[in-house]
């Protein structure tokens, strides 16, 4: 079942306001554990880890964010003439 435009907008806002900070804290905590157990990885490896974590987090959410900046296709046409 496809989400309505208004629902997608609200869900994307919730994800950005609540989900993104939680995800950042979680990833910083996990990387802290990696640093504690294995030491700091080389710079390019660390960069690759952060890039992969960023892509893995939001690639599945792409359908929610698509089209949220467009006009609501479900809204009745307005007479702005």
Q: What is the pLDDT of residues 41-52, one digit of tens each?
A: 899 988 998 899
- Domain positions in the chain are 7-64
CB-based contacts of 15: which residues, under 8 Å, 6+ apart? 61, 64
Torsion sign over Cα 15, 16, 21, 24:
positive
Look over the chain and give the mean of its residue pLDDT values, rounded to a whole number.
84
User: For the CA atoms of 53, 64, 68, 1, what is the dihedral angle to 10 degrees?
Assistant: 170
Of 19, 18, 13, 30, the C-alpha closest to 57 is: 19
pTM: 0.70
């Amino acid at each position: 079942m496809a989400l309505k435009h208004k629902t997608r907008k609200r869900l994307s806002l919730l994800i950005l306001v609540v989900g993104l900070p939680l995800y950042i804290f979680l990833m910083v905590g996990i990387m802290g554990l990696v640093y504690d157990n294995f030491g700091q990885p080389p710079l390019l490896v660390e960069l690759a880890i952060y890039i992969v974590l960023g892509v893995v987090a939001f690639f599945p959410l792409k359908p929610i964010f698509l089209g949220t900046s467009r006009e609501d296709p479900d809204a009745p046409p307005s007479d702005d003439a």
